[in-house]
Structure 1
Amino acid sequence: QAQDTGRPSLSSTLTVFFNVLDLNDNAPLFDPMSYSNEVFENVPIGTSVVSVTATDLDSGENGRLEYTIVSGDDEGVFDIEADNGTILTRRSLDRETKSLYNLVVAATDQAQPPQQALSCH
């Protein structure tokens, strides 16, 4: 409110609106931190093995996550859907060749600079 010093005193009121912008102050979090699943050998290529989920309390690009496999898939057997965390077979699984995979998946937000969470599967 603004008011003058005259007699009579006159005043005016103004309403101010503003948006509070999101700061990338939250890192992505996997819940649970570790996943486990079983899959039969020789399933068709493109079979879903497991879906991983992380959350980020930030909004907009600061909270939009992209999933990647960062280690444990040297043979290129798996693929991950970057937008939803579903891990799929890219090649045929053969238990006699390899019976256990330990993948490390990252969830990275799209902020600059980005924040990242890791999870083992």
Structure 2
Amino acid sequence: MYKQCLRRMDSRQAKLKTLLKEAKDKNMIESSAYGFLKKPLVRLHMYVRNTLGLPHPGTLRRWQSSVNCHPGFLEQSHDCASWLADQTGERMYSPIVDEMSLRTELVWKDAQHSYTGHVD
């Protein structure tokens, strides 16, 4: 388990270094900034991972696949708001709607055994 954590950490650091190198090669950052940014970004990434205890991206994908994320109003959020209103007795509810980009590709969902994407 420890070796796996170290391997993942090395992979993440390599990705950050590769990202910085690509930015330098495409003249998005100056050569002098490359050395300046490299060390703090790697340290910042390690600090965020250790402090927040973020889940693995695969875990986030599994969580997302278990939630009904079709376009429109999420039934689970409505059920949660109804439950909270029943528990607390407060009837004030203000949903906040935000825009999001739609995917142009098809994605296979194992949980539903179907493809999603290309919203009509």
Range class of TM-score, shorter chain: under 0.3
TM-score normalized with structure 1 length: 0.18
Higher helix share: 2
Higher strand share: 1
Q: Which has the higher contact order (CA 8 A, sep 6+)?
A: 1
Look at both structures and tell me which one has the larger radius of gyration over its CA atoms: 1
TM-score normalized with structure 2 length: 0.18
